[in-house]
Amino acid sequence: MIKRNHIRYFLAVADAGSFAQAATRLHITQPTLSVSIADLERLAGSRLFVRDRRHVRLTEAGGAFLPIARDLERGFRAADSFGRGIQREWPTLRFGVIRTVANPMLQRVVALLGQHFGIELIEGTDYELRTGLTSGRLQLALTLLRKQESGIIAHSLWTEPYQMLVSQSHRLADSTRVRPDELASEIMIARRSCEILEETSRFFTSVGVRPRFALRSDSDERCIAMVAAGLGITTAPRSLAVPGVVALDVSGYDFTRAVGLLHDPAWPAAADFSEVLAEIEAVLAMAA
């Protein structure tokens, strides 16, 4: 019989794309997770994941099972809360946001949502926000979009490149594009919240750039402020650039991200969300 842990563990692996990361987030051992997924696949009669050394992805059967699993988890959550009494309707929208969204962009989105909902704003990683949507703790999330989304409604808002940010007084500030070797002597600032931190490290290592670091911080605001102060340079999505900072392209460093809104198809307000979404898209387009 399929149990709740089967569903929780399946969703954790599907959202994380890794058995190791899912096990860490679930606070269980990887062998325990692997045994549970194997048991679920036996009960389902199909392989749900394709595994290789670096990645885990859903099979066709796994993709078909994903929306079923999300529905089951929502049902479990509803059963848990049943009979606990009627709560006040505020907030009408629990809205999750990744920490790397630039404040001006978030401000515009929240200002428009606030005209229609009472908002509780919750910060988290992409994984935490997706888990929150699955479990029913969130109704809407502003986060990174994947090439294919399953069991969830996605609205793309903007796409932007990752660039090198330098102070406006930096020797390269008048350039539009630089070669990686031109950065070999630079002092770097590490944004620990960066979604592509590992990919960035591998890129610069592959081209022989092994910089020294003046700061490692979880705070994007702190990191970008220190770039403006001339302490060092950093890579970041273009929207994080602020006055006093110049964004440069780096040859071969061609990473981009898509940011948008995710919500559950069963969200009660989803049917009336199209007009709100159109307002948000129009405001962001004017600000671009």
| Sign of the dihedral through C-alpha 91, 93, 99, 104 | negative
Tally the domains of the chain: 3
If asked whether residues 188 and 152 sit together in one domain, one would say no
Is residue 88 situated within a structural domain? no
Phi and psi at 28, nearest 5°, equal -130, 170
In the prediction, which pLDDT does 76 show?
Answer: 81
Mean pLDDT of the chain: 89
Is residue 181 situated within a structural domain? yes
Is residue 85 situated within a structural domain? no
Average the pLDDT over 34-62 and give the result: 87
Q: Is it the case that residue 238 has pLDDT exceeding 90?
A: yes
Is residue 109 situated within a structural domain? yes
pLDDT category at 267 given cuts 50, 70, 90 is confident
What is the SS3 assignment for 109-141? Answer: HHHHHCCCCCEEEEEECHHHHHHHHHHCCCCEE
User: Which of these three, 52, 80, 108, is where a domain ends?
Assistant: 80
206-240 burial string, b = 16+ CB within 10 Å, else e? ebebebeeebebeebeebbbbbbeebbbbbbbbbb
CATH number where 22 lies: 1.10.10.10
If asked whether residues 203 and 249 sit together in one domain, one would say yes
| Ramachandran bin of 244, using left for φ above 0, alpha for ψ from -120 to 50, beta for the remaining angles | left
Range of the domain at 263: 93-158+259-287
* pLDDT digit string, tens, across residues 171-220: 999 999 999 999 999 999 999 999 999 999 999 999 999 999 999 999 99
Higher pLDDT, 58 or 54: 58
Is residue 86 situated within a structural domain? no
If asked whether residues 228 and 278 sit together in one domain, one would say no
User: Which of these three, 53, 80, 107, is where a domain ends?
Assistant: 80
